[in-house]
A and B are shown apart, each in its own frame.
Chain A
Amino acid sequence: MGDGCWREIERELRREEPPDEAAVERVVARIRREPAAAPRAGAWAWLTRRRLVPVTPLWALGGAAAAVLAALFLAGAPWRGPAPPDPALQPVQFVLVAPEAARVSLAGDFNDWDRDATPLRRASGAGVWSVVVPLRSGRYRYVFVVDGTRWVPDVAAPRGPEDEFGPSSVVLVGGST
């Protein structure tokens, strides 16, 4: 194709078509016939109207951190109530008669031998101390700690043979019958 042909094509593409006055009149008339949308008003309209809110990246990070903290708080929210009891745990009662003791606690395999973790409650004026501990099935060694210093085995329980640190008792939870 020669240059003359290309110039002819260019001229044709650049040529502006005159507007179709009748078509414009028909479109305008149609628009005028359509019912106008009622303007949205009220609180819901205000809430749902889109807006552009400019924030800095620092504000955005702070907002995200606040959201994470709120989620963590809600996860441990006190109003959710206590967790349901674990069916795998069995209540085991420990009893010691120690009329002269001022305080008694348990230390054993079920509380990492922490003598402050499981205090016994004085059940009556006769010096009977007791506590109920939920335990999973297994074998546990333990002792009573009287007044924070005396480590006393349970006379009503089988003895633990592992005594290189001192005497202890054994409780078996669960198992066959």
Chain B
Amino acid sequence: MSALAGLLLSAALLLAAPLAAQDARLAERLPPAALPGVAAAVAEARAQGLPTEPLVQRALEGAARGVEPERIVAAVREQAAQLRAARDAIGAEAPEADLAAAAGALYAGVPAAELERLRDARGGRPLAEPLVTLADFIVRGVPRDVALSVVLSLVNARLPDRSFAALRRSVAEDILRGLAPAEAASYRARNALLPRRPRPRINTLPPGSGPTSVPRPMPPRRPFM
């Protein structure tokens, strides 16, 4: 093979490789002006071992909403950076849902050091629920330090994940009713952390206060006269 032919073949392979690695959904849906930047960001993330599906979905969201190409590219690059920072904070072995939730918390302004504190407090358990709760509170207007304190207290108390979901619903309802976000979050967290009161047993009701399970003795019958 001549040197020129070899050079041409190498160039063709170099061009073909990134094209082949492109997600077909991006080529079909993105505005043409956004495709090179997004494809480059996705390829770089893939090379760094980051999950690429969140980046693809962010680009597709931008395209679906009719966002300008440069904003789509900027958003994808920013999310890639947040995924990288999230991986540094909570560990490379974290599941993709945890990484995405951590990236969301970073987007909401949570410092990476706080993510590390949450990771340590969780003791190896999944982080998605506390992180989604944290980001939700911040988006709803709970001050960042209050939101962090609330979530960390629940994590330290080792409450089950359903407690986070219940807390989110309660805080959202309180805010809709007009309560200040910080107060709503603090009040509901205190309630969640209170020890549960034992339910009263049925047969401990005071005598005469209601029906009991003990049958009353029948009065003696008078003999028929």
**Given the interface contacts A159-B135, A159-B136, A176-B161, does A112 sit within 8 Å of B100 by beta carbon?**
no
Bound: A137/B64 CA distance, A: 24
Task: Give the nearest-CB partner of A162 in chain B.
Answer: B107
B72 to chain A, nearest CB (A): 8
16 A-B pairs (CB sep. < 8 Å): A112-B29, A113-B63, A139-B100, A155-B176, A159-B139, A160-B139, A161-B104, A162-B79, A162-B107, A164-B75, A172-B97, A174-B97, A175-B126, A175-B129, A176-B125, A176-B160
For chain B, which range describes its interface: under 10, 10 to 19, 20 to 34, or 35 or more residues?
Answer: 35 or more
Contact bitstring B132-154, A, C-beta under 8 A = 1, else 0:
11011011100000000000000
Give every chain A residue within 8 A of B162 (Cβ-Cβ). Answer: 177
Which of the segments B12-20, B37-45, B54-62 contacts the partner chain? B54-62
Bound: A159/B128 CA distance, A: 14
Bound: A133/B140 CA distance, A: 27
Q: Which of B54, B60, B67 contacts A112 (CB 8 A)?
A: B60
Q: Assess whether B135 is in contact with A158, with CB atoms less than 8 Å apart.
A: yes
**Consensus secondary structure, chain A interface:** loop
Q: Assess whether A177 is in contact with B161, with CB atoms less than 8 Å apart.
A: yes
Contact bitstring B107-123, A, C-beta under 8 A = 1, else 0:
11000000000000000
Give the tally of cross-chain contacts (CB within 8 A).
Answer: 94
Task: Give the nearest-CB partner of B127 in chain A.
Answer: A175
Give every chain A residue within 8 A of B107 (Cβ-Cβ). Answer: 161-162
Chain A residues in the interface with B (C-beta under 8 A): 107, 109, 112-115, 137-139, 141, 151, 155-156, 158-166, 168, 170, 172, 174-177
Bound: A158/B164 CA distance, A: 11
Task: Give the nearest-CB partner of B103 in chain A.
Answer: A162
Assuming A156-B172, A161-B108, A170-B104, what are 14 further A-B pairs, CB within 8 angstroms?
Answer: A113-B61, A139-B97, A139-B100, A141-B61, A155-B172, A155-B176, A158-B136, A159-B139, A160-B104, A162-B75, A165-B71, A165-B75, A172-B129, A177-B161
Give every chain B residue within 8 A of A109 (Cβ-Cβ). Answer: 53-54, 57, 61
